A and B are shown apart, each in its own frame.
Chain A
Amino acid sequence: MLISESNLLHLDNDNEKNSTLKCLSQKLFGEKYLPVYNAFLTREEQYSTGLVDGFAIPHAKLTQISETKYYFVSLSKQVEWNTLDGTAVKYLVVLLIPNNGESHIKILSAISRLMMKDEFKEAIKNKRVKQMNELLEEAK
């Protein structure tokens, strides 16, 4: 099982992008959230990670972690994210990649690819972990 319940998060955010990312960083890293938050912001400044259909895919390369982490996050409030289709964001797929160390490149690329598939997005929205795993297994 590549995806378990522990990969699913819910965030009590407010409707602003930066504070949502801050809230996310705090949820994941507690007091040591600041470098992670900055890494997210740097990435967003380069080019928004907003996709279509209410999804965004914030990601960062971090020295703090030694292996790849990924989370599927539902937001309590919609956030303007400068997405490709202009819709507000309701779901985040968060990818954290270790700067040096093992990067599960297969899973990363598979998740990224799956973000283009409606089936996968529906599965995330409805928290169908089993189906998400099947699709991921297929995509690998």
Chain B
Amino acid sequence: MKIVGVSACPTGVAHTYMAAEALKTAASTMNYQIKIETQGVEIENVLTNEDIKEADFVIIASGKTIDKERFIGKKLLEVEIAHALRSPEQVLNELVEKAQVYTQNNEQNGEIFDTSNVNGVYKHLMNGVSFMLPFVVSGGIIIALSFAFGINAADPTDPTYNVFAKILSDIGGGSAFALMLPVLAGGIAYSISGRIGIVAGAVAGMMSISTGSGFLGAMLGGFLGGYVTEFLQAKIIVKQQFYSIKVILIIPLLAVLITGFAMATIIGIPVSWILNNLTNFLNSLSGANAIVVGLIFGAMMAFDMGGPFNKTVSVFSIGLMSSGINEPIAACMAAGMTPPLGIALSTIISKKKYTQAERDAAKVNWVLGASYITEGAIPYAVTDPFRVIPALMVGSAITGAMSMFFGCASLAPHGGIWVLFIPNVINNLAMYILSIIVGTITTAIMLHLLKKDKKEIVC
């Protein structure tokens, strides 16, 4: 078997050559032919067209972006340069197992974020987000379009029913948004274990919806699916002639079963327990100080953005509407609007903390936030959860508290800006808008304080 490859490191000195040497040594013990082009201070041992043509596999060990145009149509795998240094044999095994035919398209169209310079968990999360983001953007905008027909126009039993609004809602909410979490989890699993991992990840993502664990559950599910698949790939060894059965039947079946059971039990049971207690807790709040209620409701709205906490609080508030208490739902709506709005503002005032792609994508968050589609913030929370979620929670908590303090009430459970200006839907509208603006600014300030500058990670 013939392998060609490229090793490169931004400083272009030691690691470039050491990685090449490590791969050469490993290849010779495994009886593979190998030739590695070293892109160090200058390019040496250049791969000829002949070399590439004859090669079965292409390995890229690099800490910087490499022009891969000449490898179109070859089976290719990219690894971190340190990985090649430390465990070259494993890298060559992975190459044979996981290499995918390189087409320029899958890079230009598929990768919204440049994932070439990042590593480990973060890389997997970024990959999941780059899979998910188009669903969030297109689905979110289509839902907002459906709101334009009237906030209940997609409901056949409502007098304002409009068939277009229903179709738009089915496309955006019923389909694109419904796929968001499975695609996120599938993308994470794909990044870990290659194409074969997508199934376990996507199923786990689907189960994060049915178990009510939301995007946090989907993130865990994606990692679980990916690592379970990778583990099975490594542990199940079959004879060459059964290899296709292994990858088509055995691994997907076991990976989906294991991941699915784990989602249902390890993640599902505690989540439903927490949610039950949460409802009791919310009930116990009746009579508490309005500002405290607003703080708690607001923070929970932002905690998981459309996930179980968010849904529990908003459903609870909708329940209160039937008893004529319309303040909590107003607080929920305002607090659900500030996360995307705050992120959109943050990408403008704290440019350094976001990649170019993140800044571009954030423009849509103005629309999603204004339409009370909190999910717009998820892609930003996924890649940096421990800094972004607290920032969003602070902004939303303040918005919720202000809305409650000013006694703002809403007769509509949803719709954001699409219902705000309908006469008599929101009372005390000016203060309501002020609450949203203050929360948005607070969120952006918190993000500025908590998030780190984007730094290029290199070898």
User: What count of chain B residues pass the 8 Å CB interface test?
Assistant: 24
Q: Which of the residues A49, A52, A116 comes within 8 Å of B25, measured between beta carbons?
A: A116
Chain A residues with CB under 8 Å of B85's CB are 51, 84
Q: Which of the residues A51, A61, A109 comes within 8 Å of B17, measured between beta carbons?
A: A109
**Interface set of B (CB-CB < 8 Å, partner A):** 10-11, 13-18, 20-22, 25, 38, 40-42, 44, 63, 82, 85-86, 457-459
Of all chain B residues, the one with the shortest Cβ separation from A59 is B13
* Residue contact B13 to A97, C-beta cutoff 8 Å: yes
The 5 sampled A-B contact pairs (Cβ below 8 Å) are A59-B13, A105-B40, A105-B44, A109-B40, A112-B14
Bound CA–CA A105/B21 (angstroms): 15
Q: Which of the residues B13, B25, B458 comes within 8 Å of A112, measured between beta carbons?
A: B13
Q: Which of the residues B11, B13, B42, B82 comes within 8 Å of A84, measured between beta carbons?
A: B82
Minimum CB–CB distance for B26 against chain A, Å:
10
A59-B11 contact given A47-B458, A47-B459, A116-B21, CB 8 Å threshold: yes
* Residue contact A105 to B42, C-beta cutoff 8 Å: yes
User: What count of chain A residues pass the 8 Å CB interface test?
Assistant: 23
Chain A residues with CB under 8 Å of B10's CB are 46
Of all chain A residues, the one with the shortest Cβ separation from B119 is A47
* Residue contact B458 to A57, C-beta cutoff 8 Å: no
Minimum CB–CB distance for A95 against chain B, Å:
6
Chain B residues with CB under 8 Å of A51's CB are 18, 85
Using a Cβ cutoff of 8 Å, how many contacts connect chains A and B? 66
Q: Return the 4 tightest CB-CB contacts between A and B, nearest first.
A: A112-B17, A113-B21, A109-B17, A116-B21
Q: Which of the residues A52, A108, A113, A117 comes within 8 Å of B41, measured between beta carbons?
A: A108
Of all chain A residues, the one with the shortest Cβ separation from B456 is A46
Of all chain B residues, the one with the shortest Cβ separation from A56 is B14
Minimum CB–CB distance for A21 against chain B, Å:
15
A103-B41 contact given A84-B85, A113-B20, CB 8 Å threshold: yes
Minimum CB–CB distance for A46 against chain B, Å:
5
Chain A residues with CB under 8 Å of B15's CB are 47, 112
* Residue contact B11 to A61, C-beta cutoff 8 Å: yes
Chain B residues with CB under 8 Å of A129's CB are none
Bound CA–CA A47/B22 (angstroms): 18
Chain A residues with CB under 8 Å of B458's CB are 46-47
Q: Which of the residues A52, A84, A95, A105 comes within 8 Å of B14, measured between beta carbons?
A: A95
Chain A residues with CB under 8 Å of B18's CB are 51, 57, 112-113, 115-116
Of all chain B residues, the one with the shortest Cβ separation from A97 is B13
The B-contacting residues of A in range 18-65, CB under 8 angstroms, are 43, 46-47, 49, 51-52, 57, 59, 61
Chain B residues with CB under 8 Å of A115's CB are 14, 18, 21
Of all chain B residues, the one with the shortest Cβ separation from A112 is B17
Q: Mask for A1-24, Cβ within 8 A of B = 1, else 0?
A: 000000000000000000000000
Q: Mask for A98-140, Cβ within 8 A of B = 1, else 0?
A: 0000010100111011011100000000000000000000000
Chain B residues with CB under 8 Å of A47's CB are 15, 63, 82, 457-459
Chain B residues with CB under 8 Å of A84's CB are 82, 85-86
Chain A residues with CB under 8 Å of B86's CB are 52, 84-85
